[in-house]
Amino acid sequence: MILTVTLNTALDLTYGVPELVPHASHRVSEMSERPGGKGLNVARVLSALGHRTVVTGFAGGATGAALRELLAGLSPQEPADPGAPGTAPAPITDALVTVAGNTRRTIAVVDRATGDTTQLNEPGPLVTADEWAALLGRYEELLAGADAVALCGSLPPGIHVGAYAELVRSARTAGVPVLLDTSGEPLRRGIAARPDLIKPNADELAQLTGSREPMRATRDARRRGAHGVIASLGPDGMLAVTPDGIWQAAPPARVLGNPTGAGDSAVAGLLSGLVEGLSWPDRLRRAVALSTATVLSPTAGDFDRAAYEELLPRVGIEEHTPAAR
Residue 289: Cβ-neighbour burial (10 angstroms; 0-12, 13-18, 19+): buried
d(CA 173, CA 277): 21
d(CA 304, CA 141): 34
Q: Is 264 a catalytic residue?
A: yes
d(CA 97, CA 135): 6
Which amino acid is it at 140?
E
Q: Which of 264, 282, 302, 304 is catalytic?
A: 264
Query: How long a stretch of residues is the chain?
Result: 325
CA angle 106, 107, 110 (to 5 degrees): 140
H/E stretch holding 22 reads none
d(CA 325, CA 270): 21
The closest alpha carbon to 138, from 97, 179, 175, 166, belongs to 97
Catalytic residues: 264
